[in-house]
Every structure is written in C-alpha cells, then in structure tokens.
Chains A and B, each alone.
Chain A
Amino acid sequence: MKAKVLIRPRQGILDPQGKAVERALPALGFEGVSNVRVGRLVELETDDPSKLDALCESLLANPLIEDFEVETYDDSSAEPPDSRSSGPLTRPGSS
C-alpha cells in the first residue's frame, strides 16, 4: 500500500514561510492571494496501513504544532494521485 501524508502548521499558529510566500506574490503580479500556508508532503509505502496514524503522530508530524492527513492508495493503480494537480487532495477513486 502506498500512502501520502500531508503535514501542515496547525490553524492559529503563525506560519512565517507562508507569510513570506504571500508577501512575495504581489511583486510578481499575483494579486489577491491570501492565507498561504506551507507544509510538507511525505510519500511512503507500507505493509501495514493500520499503523499509519500512529506513525504520523509519533514521528512524521508533531501533533502539538502540526496537523496531518493520510491518503492511501493501492500499489496496483497505475498512477498515484497527481500531486501537481490543482484538484482536492483526496479524489474519488483513491481510498
């Protein structure tokens, strides 16, 4: 089983990286962009998806300061959900 873990700063916690990106955008002509938050994406393969939440809580994310979402999908599916897509993270068809 393959999985993607999306980790981001918890709501309410100042994200200076997001702020820096947000402030840079108007200089490039991208107006009207707000609430930019920068997180990270971890891709992995696991034999035991039931342990993913525990794994995230104990290492991949620090629950005090970060939220995480886990998305799993079958190895057999030809293509993983495209992380470059502008669509929502969890799409129909991914389990």
Chain B
Amino acid sequence: MIGVIQFPGSCDERDALAACERVGEARMVWHEETDLSGIDGVVVPGGFSYGDYLRAGAIARFAPAMGAVSEFAARGGPVLGICNGFQVLCEAGLLPGALLPNGGLRFICRQVDLVAESCDSPFAAELEPGARLSIPVKHMTGRFFAPEAELDRLGAEGRVAFRYAAGENPNGSARDIAGVTNEAGNVLGLMPHPEHAVDPLTGSDDGLTLFRALARQPSPA
C-alpha cells in the first residue's frame, strides 16, 4: 500500500494517487495523520503546501504526517518526493540541498528529457544508467542548489538519480541535477513530475517505472 501525503495546498496528489493505483494499491494520507502502519511506500506530491508561505516546503515539514514520514524513512521505507514534495523533503533535512527560484524567474511547464545516472536506489529498479525518460516539469522554484563540495560528494556517492539531458536544464539547477537521493538511497526527490507521465495519451508513460518500482518495495521493518 502506497500512501500519498495530502497537505492543504497540495495539487498533484490525485494524479500521484492515480499513478500509484495503476501499479498497485494506494491511499491518500491527510497531513494530520501520524499512523503510517500498513504503508509500504510514501509519495510526497507536488503543489503549494500551506501556500508555500515563507519558502516552498518550509511550513509543510512541520506537518504531523511529516514526523511520521521521517520515522518511516529512518526505518528504510521508500519515500518519493515530487516537486513541492522534493522541496518539503529538503526543508525537512531528509534530502541534501535546496530548491531556489528558477534562474529565469518564470514558471516553467513543459516536457523535458531526463537521464538516469545512479540506478542504485529502489526507485530505479527497472532503469539502467543512461536511460532517458520524457517527463514534464511545472514549477517556479526548481533550481537545485547545494555547495560545490556537497555536489562533488553527491556525484561521488552515486546519489544523483537523474540529471536533465544536455541542453534541457530548464531552471538553472546546479550541474543539471533533477533528482537526488538520501545517503541510504531510500528517499528520492525529483523536480519533474512522473505522475503526469503515466499514459501515452498525454505524451509519455515514462514516469510509470518509478511507481512500479515503488509498488514492488517490501514493507519496511
């Protein structure tokens, strides 16, 4: 059972739920819930949680459900943060770095190509390094930032899950980084939206692979 966290201000939770339901069982987890028993994987979806007041993700990290998600992640449970979910996980300290306003200061909504780099995380079970995925981005605050030494470390430790394909970096992200994992590899943050790429009808179903891999994860201890 995959749990999709729903904050006030989330807006992609239904697409995330629908994507999960294509490959397994899923349910919505309201932000006030603190009991994740029976949940084998978590999606922190996109949107504008708590209005993105102060900074994107800054308030959502204090939601009761996020305490439970942190414990879940510490037990090794797989957590996928998408867009605003990525921002929330960075603010919560579950992922390195931060997301800054796009370099061009515009809201960007378009299809981009991603290249899988490190495929050690459970989310990349079906992917080989170098695999290309066509997945849309839609964000205002998606410029990944981390200090140079941290960027070196992320690359060396195989924690860069995805980079934007050459020439496709839409927002000025450092070293074209589109998605990173935590040290243990069970938490992935991704700026593009795989839940919007699950049916050829809308241009691509390349995002489905992440949800299939998530659905196949064993329950955490």
Contacts and interface: CB of A to CB of B under 8 A. Distances in A.
A54 to B, nearest CB: 15
Interface in B53-111: 54-55, 58, 91, 97-98, 100-105
Interface of B is mostly: loop
Contacts, number: 31
B172 interface: yes
A14 interface: yes
Contact of A20 (B54, B98, B105, B145): B105
B98 A62 contact: yes
What is the interface residue range for chain B against chain A? 10 to 19
Contacts of B103: 14, 16
A62 B91 contact: yes
B58 to A, nearest CB: 7
B98 A59 contact: no
B97 A64 contact: yes
Interface centre among A13, A16, A19, A59 (most CB of B within 10 A): A16
Nearest to B147: A64
A64 B98 contact: yes
A13 B174 CA distance: 11
Contacts of B145: 13, 64-65
A17 interface: yes
A70 interface: no
Contacts of B54: 59-60
Contacts of A17: 101, 105
Contacts of A14: 100, 103, 143, 172
B50 to A, nearest CB: 12
Interface residues of A, number: 12
A20 B102 CA distance: 12
A62 B98 CA distance: 9
Contacts of A9: 100
Nearest to A40: B54
Contacts of A60: 54
B120 to A, nearest CB: 25
Nearest to A63: B98
A14 B105 CA distance: 11
Nearest to B150: A64
Nearest to B100: A65
A35 B91 CA distance: 28
Interface in B140-174: 143, 145-147, 172
16 contacts: A13-B100, A14-B103, A14-B143, A14-B172, A16-B102, A16-B103, A16-B104, A16-B105, A20-B105, A59-B54, A60-B54, A62-B55, A62-B98, A64-B145, A64-B147, A65-B145
- A-B pairs with the 9 shortest C-beta distances? A16-B105, A65-B98, A64-B98, A20-B105, A16-B101, A62-B98, A16-B103, A65-B145, A62-B55
Interface of A: 9, 13-14, 16-17, 19-20, 59-60, 62, 64-65
